[in-house]
Structure 1
């Protein structure tokens, strides 16, 4: 009987599939995972060198998480007791879902939304109410608000991945204030958007704002996420729900020194915004594409029935972007990450040559 039970569990999980990562290509211009390659390589070298000098990995990082939280507090301008950390923001989302939601909990989100969050809801058998985007990749907040009446948890990635959409700030604030359940706003791409709602946590006890250093600081490989919430929720999360040592010593030390160089990050984010506009404006010149506005460090566009050909042609030229396919009524969606000016120019030149 026990063997049959185990087989059934494995079969159940196998049928879910899990989060789909981008295709692996070697020796390519990597514009497929929304990583921040605009942050200088020297920045990475400096913080890792600093971390190595200030670390002894033979011991557990006792007390070091608290030092990191102090640095995040200074950066985000919120008290330390309102900050929690995790092994990437996806680990934080996972712990929130596995502990605050159940098969009886209804989660309201958009369609599409962050794929990992959606797959985690499937894993835990959490019912999802998904509001689809319009054909121009915008979300109707009135429709969203109407459906919130039957939901227990509201989750929005703002800006959204993969569309790049971000609600007008005042409308999203109004929605949050009117919602009585738990609200999770995922600001993984917040530094590239128009605003952050982190200060709203000071007055909204049901609000959690998840953030990360992966995109803004170009530290995706370190797996360093954090969230901002009321003191009671943060206290329970860090003392009870979170692992005793969720971050490595190297990650903690690297995060601390990176946050001291936030001005470099902010300048880089502004450069990405300028390059994002260049890519959007250039792609819109081609009649074969539907191009959607973005507030993130990527651009979504529909290449219609030629999207597989465009994707493959770019790979042949050693340029990797993300092949997404159908989103709503758009059947051929592709997503390109905003890289350095040189990387973006290579992508745009390849597109130009392909469409000649």
Structure 2
């Protein structure tokens, strides 16, 4: 093998990779923040209709145009500020790839580990500020001071895995103080949150918002994400950075149909938010656990010495949650995706009965 390639592959093999969930047959899968409340039949019917009507011998041109028309209506933002990707993680990857080596990114932890892992791949140093263990709040002054020595800022809002969304004024202050930095606002869970910054950033040269169809819209398998930015960035991204046809025709068609039925999606979102609050109130009374208020479609729990017992009982019932273990000072952490009322009831009974 070429010496250069062998050295590069050897180095890459040492990098930490994003851990994909384990596939378990007939499990109640509540580990990836997918929308299990939105009926499966909706996307299934759209997939069947799309497959019947689409000529897969052709590139997805008209389907992309239709998608942008539907998306701009949903976002209430002109399509010149929008750009599509093969999931928001592909968009993150492309943005990081153009930054260049030996740059620095400031973020906080815990947060979406995929971004940190990809920075390692692109030789981007990560400066991370720990969120407060009590309430996951951010030391704003420390964050801004650290970020002034970086080129890129990553803010997940609402944050994954903690679920909280910083108040809007905090995010605005960060943006105002870092006008010469590239700021990536990841709004993957924004439909479940308190606010979006989308209307505030289209006139800013340095801010990019990321969105996805994998969470609220229940289309994780379709792999569709998009960005919102100023017109110049969106245009260059579409024409130069992104591949010519990043999303297949069927996925685009399904997403367009789902956007036309966004009222059904939003009903499911409201159901999830109600269940989230109900479940939080149940768990917050369990003194041996620390549960954090959430603005996403999941709840983050610090189980401490109950961690192993909880996981053991959940696995007996074939319930799969995201296992984090220890994160900094947080001991025995897990993340539970809000499911149907029946799923949530089952989950709460299990953890309430842990001795």
Name the counterpart of 1:104: 102
Provide the aligned length of Structure 1 versus Structure 2.
Answer: 353
Q: What is the CA–CA distance in structure 2 between the aligned matches of 1:225 and 1:300, rounded to whole Å?
A: 24
Q: What is the CA–CA distance in structure 2 between the aligned matches of 1:64 and 1:254, rounded to whole Å?
A: 10
Q: What is the CA–CA distance in structure 2 between the aligned matches of 1:66 and 1:131, rounded to whole Å?
A: 41
Aligned-CA RMSD value: 1.3
CA contact (8 A) 1:86 1:246 kept: yes
CA contact (8 A) 2:202 2:228 kept: no
Give the TM-score, by structure 1 length: 0.96
Question: Which deviations, in whole Å up to 9, do the C-alpha atoms of 1:234-264 show, x marking residues without a partner?
Answer: 1111111111110111001001000001111
Name the counterpart of 1:261: 261
Q: What is the CA–CA distance in structure 2 between the aligned matches of 1:93 and 1:123, rounded to whole Å?
A: 13
Which consecutive unaligned segments of at least 5 residues does structure 1 have? none
Q: Which runs of structure 2 are paired with 1:152-167 in the superposition (5 Å)?
A: 152-167=151-166
Q: Which runs of structure 2 are paired with 1:208-219 in the superposition (5 Å)?
A: 208-219=208-219
Name the counterpart of 1:76: 75
Question: Which deviations, in whole Å up to 9, do the C-alpha atoms of 1:315-343 show, x marking residues without a partner?
Answer: 11111111101122112101100011111
Name the counterpart of 1:242: 242
Question: Which deviations, in whole Å up to 9, do the C-alpha atoms of 1:59-113 show, x marking residues without a partner?
Answer: 11124222211111111011111100000000000000001x2233211111121
Name the counterpart of 2:22: 23
CA contact (8 A) 1:89 1:210 kept: yes
Name the counterpart of 1:335: 335
Which secondary structure state, in structure 2, belongs to the residue aligned with residue 130 of structure 1? strand
Name the counterpart of 2:353: 353
Name the counterpart of 1:114: 112
Cα displacement (A) at 1:277? 0.9
Q: What is the CA–CA distance in structure 1 between the aligned matches of 2:217 and 2:193, rounded to whole Å?
A: 15
Which secondary structure state, in structure 1, belongs to the residue aligned with residue 2 of structure 2? helix
Give the TM-score, by structure 2 length: 0.96
Which secondary structure state, in structure 2, belongs to the residue aligned with residue 354 of structure 1? coil
Cα displacement (A) at 1:233? 0.7
Where does structure 1 differ by over 4 angstroms across 4 or more consecutive aligned residues?
A: none
Which consecutive unaligned segments of at least 5 residues does structure 2 have? none
